[in-house]
Chains A and B, each alone.
Chain A
Amino acid sequence: KNQVEQSPQSLIILEGKNCTLQCNYTVSPFSNLRWYKQDTGRGPVSLTIMTFSENTKSNGRYTATLDADTKQSSLHITASQLSDSASYICVVSVRGYSTLTFGKGTMLLVSP
């Protein structure tokens, strides 16, 4: 069964600190992996998308890594800001299919 597991479930960090969110998946055959940011009361917004041939991709202070061999991804946030407080969702797609498999997200709170 295709699954995406994220850890931790929630995280509190101080403004200015770095943090790393984890994503493990069992989706096969793998096509691509996306990280979405979802602010409270809003729809998810794409941060990065990586295919199996990419092992890192950055979007400003967000850097995603992918290890297709171990089926793990991480999202690193550098110099966190209050506006980074949100839910971060890992999403994996299966090659040849249109549907996406979603993780349940990590709720990040950046505290002043």
Chain B
Amino acid sequence: DAGVIQSPRHEVTEMGQEVTLRCKPISGHNSLFWYRQTMMRGLELLIYFNNNVPIDDSGMPEDRFSAKMPNASFSTLKIQPSEPRDSAVYFCASSLTSLEAFSYNEQFFGPGTRLTVL
């Protein structure tokens, strides 16, 4: 298995532009997580999906951020409009979980997308 796949690996854009990050989870996994990592705040959970349904999006910083999971093998995180403070590394992770044992199952992380907003 190729693991979690993210694209692009690097993105440089100008303030105000729309940015779309993409993720393909590990085949057979039913949960998908979007994280943001910065030096100041470390890793922060933005949103997670279980069986393609958003369960908790309380970590999404504001309305400029949106995430979708149209099917079990694809998810997007969109920022519109982007701002310099959105510059960070964005990770996607997936796991095979059930809601009863949700907090135990291991999450597998992708390589991340490094976003720079000028």
Contacts and interface: CB of A to CB of B under 8 A. Distances in A.
A97 B103 contact: yes
Interface of A: 31-32, 34, 41-46, 49, 51, 89, 93-100, 102-105
Interface of B: 4, 31, 41-45, 48, 50, 55-56, 59, 91, 93, 97, 99, 102-104, 106-112
Contacts of B45: 99-100
Given A31-B104, A32-B103, A45 B42 contact: no
B4 A43 contact: yes
A98 B4 contact: no
B112 to A, nearest CB: 6
A89 B35 CA distance: 14
A46 B4 CA distance: 14
Nearest to A6: B42
Contact of A99 (B42, B56, B97): B56
A98 B56 contact: yes
Contacts of A93: 103-104
A51 B109 CA distance: 21
Nearest to A31: B103
Contact of B109 (A44, A99, A104): A44
B103 A96 contact: yes
A94 B48 CA distance: 16
